[in-house]
Amino acid sequence: MGLAFLQKAEEAMAVIKAAEFAWPRMEAPDLDEMEEFLTHFGLIRAERTATALYMRGTDDHHHLHVTQKGGTKFIGFAYHAEDEEDLKRLARLPGASGIETLDEPGGGRRVRLTEPNGYQIEVVAGQKRVEPVRVVRDEQNTAREPERRVGRVMRLGTSPTSIQRIGHGVLGSPKVTETVAWFRETLGMIRSDDVYAGAKDNIIGSFNRLDRGDAYVDHHVFFCNHNTKAGLHHVSYEVQDIDCVFQDHEYLERLGKYDHVWGIGRHLLGSQVYDYWSDPWGRVHERWADTDRLNAGDGGNLVSAEEGLRSQWGDGPPERFIGHASP
């Protein structure tokens, strides 16, 4: 299975077209320790029960990150459906859970599926929306600033700066083409960039975005890269501006409590200014600012690993980042 297999999957009629990335779901043995990390990282507690932690950003989603008390495993990703009709379509798939009431903060209804590596994919509709958190911060990093800010000085706020929203989730997998085909056929994702090594049919990674028609969306909401074992590679969150990336890098570094994995730099594919940190159990979380935005009419590309997996500036990825997967 290679490029032709993926192209066929993209041309097939998808079961639904997912509307948004919702959250990663994982376990941690200590919810206090996980909340402390995520708070330093820039997320805000939405709710917490005796058995689970729900963290949010400043947008109107109830939560963007779920941690259940338990071991250290990655459970899976969740996506928002357009409506409950989408859930009905998914519930008819072999192995689907059927439509369930989501008995946890934020509510809503869901269907649970299993992707080719065995991870749970939740598709949710009707979840509660909340009031956005107001953030007072000047627009930064534009050529217009000197004219716009005449007569006053620029001062940044304190760290940690707030996460705005969730961006994308990445899986490592020994079954890249099968996994990507599943996400395209089931959730309607479309190719932004397929990455090959050696022969063009040898696909080792794939950047996929949502299909929202003429509306512009992030360059990718799901990336799958080749790994000898399956697992969470990383989950990413957007901050307000590039200053936030640098400012909070320094803040996390000064804390001296968490493992810095890679960054700061600017990706080629997607163009995000990135910074990667591990939680206390090794799950990688990315803070980023700026991204390419595409719509369904912008098509996709086939690029070599040498070209596609490099940065426009900043150091190249360390081996421990390339080969990372948290099962």
The structure's pTM equals 0.94
* pLDDT score recorded for residue 1: 66
How many CB atoms lie under 10 A from the CB of residue 76?
A: 22
Domain ranges of the chain: 3-131+162-322
Question: Does residue 194 have a pLDDT over 70?
Answer: yes
CATH class name, domain 3-131+162-322: alpha beta
Distance from chain centroid for Cα 74: 14
Q: What is the mean pLDDT of residues 10-29?
A: 94
Question: Does residue 152 have a pLDDT over 80?
Answer: no
In the chain, pLDDT over 90 holds for what percent of residues? 87
Question: Does residue 39 have a pLDDT over 70?
Answer: yes
Distance in Å from the first CA to the final CA of the chain: 24
CA atoms within 13 Å, Cβ hemisphere of 291: 24
Separation CA 303–CA 269 (nearest Å): 10
Question: Does residue 298 have a pLDDT over 80?
Answer: yes
Question: Does residue 183 have a pLDDT over 90?
Answer: yes
* pLDDT score recorded for residue 154: 74
Question: Does residue 27 have a pLDDT over 90?
Answer: yes
* pLDDT score recorded for residue 144: 59
Separation CA 38–CA 35 (nearest Å): 5
Separation CA 304–CA 196 (nearest Å): 5
DSSP 8-state symbol, 224: E
Separation CA 73–CA 58 (nearest Å): 27
Local confidence band at 5 (pLDDT 50, 70, 90 cut-offs): confident
Separation CA 81–CA 123 (nearest Å): 6
Alpha helices in 23-66 (DSSP H): 31-41
In whole numbers, what is the pLDDT of the chain averaged over residues?
A: 94
Q: Lowest-confidence range among 127-141, 153-167, 258-272, 294-308?
A: 127-141
| Strand arrangement, sheet containing 311-313 | 301-304, 190-196, 203-209, 222-226, 165-173, 231-238, 284-289, 273-278, 260-267, 311-313
Q: How many residues does the chain have?
A: 327
* pLDDT score recorded for residue 210: 98
Q: Lowest-confidence range among 83-97, 124-138, 149-163?
A: 149-163
Buried b (16+ CB within 10 A) or exposed e, 267-299: bebbebbbbbbbbbbebbbbbbbbbbebbbeee
Separation CA 203–CA 195 (nearest Å): 6
* pLDDT score recorded for residue 136: 75
* pLDDT score recorded for residue 157: 81
* pLDDT score recorded for residue 138: 64
Q: Which two tokens stand for residue 152?
A: 């006053």
Helix axes 31-41, 242-255, angle to 10 degrees: 140
Local confidence band at 54 (pLDDT 50, 70, 90 cut-offs): very high
Q: What is the mean pLDDT of residues 265-269?
A: 97
Buried b (16+ CB within 10 A) or exposed e, 188-219: bbbbbbbbbeeeeeebbbbbbbbbbeeeebbb
Q: Which residues contact 290 (CB under 8 A, 6 or more apart)?
A: 242, 266, 271, 272, 273
Question: Does residue 214 have a pLDDT over 80?
Answer: yes
Residue listed under structure tokens 């009629």: 13
Q: What is the mean pLDDT of residues 32-44?
A: 98
Do 213 and 159 meet the contact criterion of CB atoms below 8 Å apart?
A: no
The answer for 236, left when phi > 0, alpha when psi is -120 to 50, beta otherwise, is beta
Q: Lowest-confidence range among 49-53, 234-238, 305-309?
A: 305-309
Local confidence band at 284 (pLDDT 50, 70, 90 cut-offs): very high
Local confidence band at 143 (pLDDT 50, 70, 90 cut-offs): low
Segment 224-233, tens digit of pLDDT? 999 999 999 9
Distance from chain centroid for Cα 13: 24
Q: What is the mean pLDDT of residues 248-277?
A: 98
